[in-house]
Amino acid sequence: MNWFEASKDLIAISIAALAVVLSLITVVLQRRQQQRAAYREIYSTLMSDELHRGRWMISRISGPEHIPKDKLDYRLVYRTLGVFDNLAMYERQGVVPRKWVLDVWHHPLHDMYKGASVIRRDAEKDGAVSPWPQLWTLFDQAAAYRSSLACCQPAGGGRGSRVRRLAARAPGGRRTSQPDGRAAQR
């Protein structure tokens, strides 16, 4: 009887422990699912025609004289940086998977850095206080990031990477880079 009583307790404890483990696994899986859904949502905004255009405009800015004069284009540049600032906040808060953000966007972020810095200086001249504060951290992370994908492999590291690198060059010869196999983000 004593042995049976002791086993009963042990079984009860094991079942309780299993229940805790299962709920922890469920929480982790749910969180991952939520992160993926959040990423998909912001990804479709970032991949819209409008944001694409905004990103290209920013990448072409290398001095204040290149900042768009057209009001709509000017607003689009600001909106694009605003959406990327939001992506940076999501990444920082763990709302979206960090690795996905960096794998997909490290080269586009690198391409935008110079133009974004020019726009920031211009905005600060007009009294704006450090615009897009979280984006600068993401720019730094992207600059230091090396993915295991073909885009970051040394030249000649395989036919795939060569082809990808060639495809990533704009007609003017300027590197415009593709983040990964999803490529064709241009």
Site string for Zn ion, 106-145 (x = CB under 5 A): ----------------------------------------
How far is CA 104 from each of CA 4, 14, 22, 48, 146, rounded to the nearest angstrom?
A: 58, 43, 32, 15, 11
**Minimum distance of Zn ion from residue 87's CB (angstroms):** 17
Enumerate residues 43-82 that contact Zn ion by CB under 5 A: none
Nearer to Zn ion, 86 or 147 (CB): 147
3-state secondary structure of 60: coil
Residue 122 gets which letter from DSSP? H
Cα distance between residue 8 and residue 2, in whole Å = 10
Q: Does 151 bind Zn ion (CB under 5 A)?
A: yes
User: Which of 147, 153, 161, 185 is in the footprint of Zn ion by CB under 5 A?
Assistant: 147
**Minimum distance of Zn ion from residue 71's CB (angstroms):** 35
3-state secondary structure of 175: strand
Whether 177 contacts 107, CB under 8 Å: yes
Residues that bind Zn ion (CB under 5 A): 147, 151-152
